[in-house]
Amino acid sequence: MRKQLSTIAEVVVRSLADHGVAQVWGVVGDALNPITDAIRREERIEWISVRHEEVASFAAGAQAQLTGTIGVCMGTVGPGSIHLLNGLYDAKKSGAPVLALCGQVPTAEMGTDYFQEVDNDRLFADVSVFAHTLTSAAQLPHLLEEAVNTAYARSGVAVLTLPGDVGSQAADGVAVPGFSPPPRGAAAAPEQLAPAVAALRGSTACTLLVGCGAREARDEVLALAERLQSPMVLTLKAKDGLEGDNPNQVGQSGLIGNPAAAVAMDKCDVLFLIGTDFPYREWYPEGKTVIQLDHDQARIGRRVSVDHALVGDAVATLRDLLPQLTARTDSDHLDTALDAYHSWCERQATVAEPEKPHGLIGRVRGVFDNPDGRIRPEALAVAVDRHAPADAIFTSDTGMSTAWLARFVTMSGTRRLLGSYNLGSMANALPQAMGAQALDRRRKVVAFCGDGGLMMLLGDMRTAVTHGLPVVLIVFDNGRLGMVKLEQEQGGLPEFGTVLDNPDLAVVATAMGLTGRRVEDVGDLDEAVVWALQQSGPVLLDVVTNPDEIAIPPKVTLGDGWGFAIAKIQESLESR
């Protein structure tokens, strides 16, 4: 029989442990000392002490995205809680259920502009679906239940603030609350289905644009694509769960996409959006009949005008939809998109060849953007894809490392993918990788790190060592803020302010207790990737890559070309 719980802090911690929370991430201190002491005595929860609270919120958000259950992070009074904000915004925009336990000054001092006092309820109002301060034992278990249940129901961040004198208050007679994720939603209404079915039946060329909201509907989406002979354009987040073993997929749209996706969307007469909130309006085609399926009605039509709205769960709705459609035999639209996709993949493969570029495009690019034969980032991404296990979890920093992962790493098998793909924050790959790794220390977790992103939260590499998290950090070390460089040059501006004066990151990693190795010769690349993936502890592979590599977008305008040419001329003149 369990001992009687004596404090509010013990009630909070036991309820989380009973719910299956395995880790809590944060930095110890003052107001939250009763909570961390309760964690110390709760054998089912591992306390992971980070060096920066932003890492805690990113890690908790990563765990929530991978498991669908609540992730938990903590920040103490004032600055400690403020540091959580960036990772919490990422969780918000990713629809991840996260609970942030935040400290506050003693109740008697609240509202007096006390040392480190911050109004947490106001501070977190925009990022959260729930933000309240617990001020007495009488508010338990109700306020805690409301916090977690709201995070689940609204797929977002709940912030529960505990003043310094509240966590240690007696909890006599307070029940331990229980939580459960919301059940799967219902199908779209029949009156919504009927016109959508009619549009699909009358279509001659239908393209599916599929997002991560359809991840659990993989079988149904694949069946729909086969029945309609439709090419399937995937958002970046939909690579996770929908890319592997998918004969109809033609990659991504947008700046990191490819020409085949543009062909599939431009040549269709019906565009069917399934579980996606793809935000870039300029990449949607015009003059199409648009069907959108989403469980959240607020998302319908906010990116592109929609002719037929389907509000409901993707699995349930597609199961109702499929029997109403007959199999199509004409595959011309699908074949055209697939031919364009396979042709693009072949061209990309020649560029990624580590020894030397082949073909006209490869030779021209070699002269202009890689005259010294430096390691191409494409070759690094291909090597990781080739050697990483089929159940690896990948994370990527925002910027060029995401572009290389999107184009050259396939989410086959049971691979998973995480990134700051809605918020677009720097420095997310390392903390998200640690969050994923803490869930299962035997599963390989690979982070595609930009050198700029890694340096931003460099201190938390030590967290991986301290807590035995065997993450594999692959650093695309081009000495640049690469995406910003590309943006400047595309706009006709010479590169400015993007150069990074990096140390030898492998030496830094080794000094911090990781296993580190630096790669500068393309001939060493493949063997070095194999070596990194074979290490049993945290490892950093610092690969010095070509800073002038260009990720060519699917549609290149004349303005883009002129802008890049003018920028390069100015850079050349200024360097002389």
Contact in structure between 208 and 225 (CB atoms under 8 Å): yes
pLDDT, one tens digit per residue, over 339-359 is 999 999 998 888 777 555 555
Residue 554: which pLDDT band, with cuts at 50, 70 and 90? low
pLDDT score for 552 = 61
Residue 371: pLDDT over 60: no
Mean pLDDT of 512-541: 98
Q: What is the largest CA-CA distance in the chain?
A: 79
Query: How far apart, in Å, are the Cα atoms of 64 and each of 277, 336, 423?
Result: 19, 39, 16
State pLDDT tens for residues 304-343. 999 999 999 999 999 999 999 999 999 999 999 999 999 9
More confident residue, 190 or 3: 190
What is the pLDDT at residue 24? 98
Which of the listed ranges 103-107, 176-180, 184-188 does the model predict with the highest average pLDDT? Answer: 103-107
**Equal fold, 190-340 vs 352-575:** yes
Domain 352-575: CATH class, spelled out:
alpha beta
Amino acid at 171: A
At residue 360 the predicted structure's pLDDT band, cuts being 50, 70 and 90, is low
Q: Using one digit for the tens of pLDDT, what is the confidence trace for 60-87?
A: 999 999 999 999 999 999 999 999 999 9
Given a cut of 70, whether residue 5 has pLDDT beyond it is: no
Over residues 460-474, the mean pLDDT reads 98
If you average pLDDT over residues 253-279, what whole number do you get?
A: 94
| Domain ranges, ordered by start, for the chain | 8-163, 190-340, 352-575
- The 10 Å Cβ neighbour count of residue 364 is 11
What percent of the chain has a predicted confidence (pLDDT) above 70? 91
pLDDT confidence band for 544 (50 / 70 / 90): very high
The CATH code for residues 190-340 is 3.40.50.1220
pLDDT of residue 362: 52
Radius of gyration of the chain (CA): 25
Please check the confidence at residue 568 and state whether its pLDDT lies above 50. no
What are the helix and strand counts (H, E) for the chain?
Answer: 23, 17
| pLDDT the model gives residue 44 | 98
> What's the confidence (pLDDT) of residue 573?
41
Average pLDDT, the chain: 91
300: its two tokens? 């319908």
Both tokens of 194, joined, read 């009927």
Question: What pLDDT shows up at residue 483?
Answer: 84
Q: Of 500, 355, 457, 342, give the one whose Cα is nearest residue 87.
A: 457
> Can you name the CATH fold of 8-163?
Rossmann fold (3.40.50)
Q: Where are the beta strands (DSSP E) in 164-312?
A: 206-210, 232-234, 270-274, 289-294, 308-311
- H helices within 95-247, ranges in order? 120-123, 142-153, 190-202, 218-228, 239-242
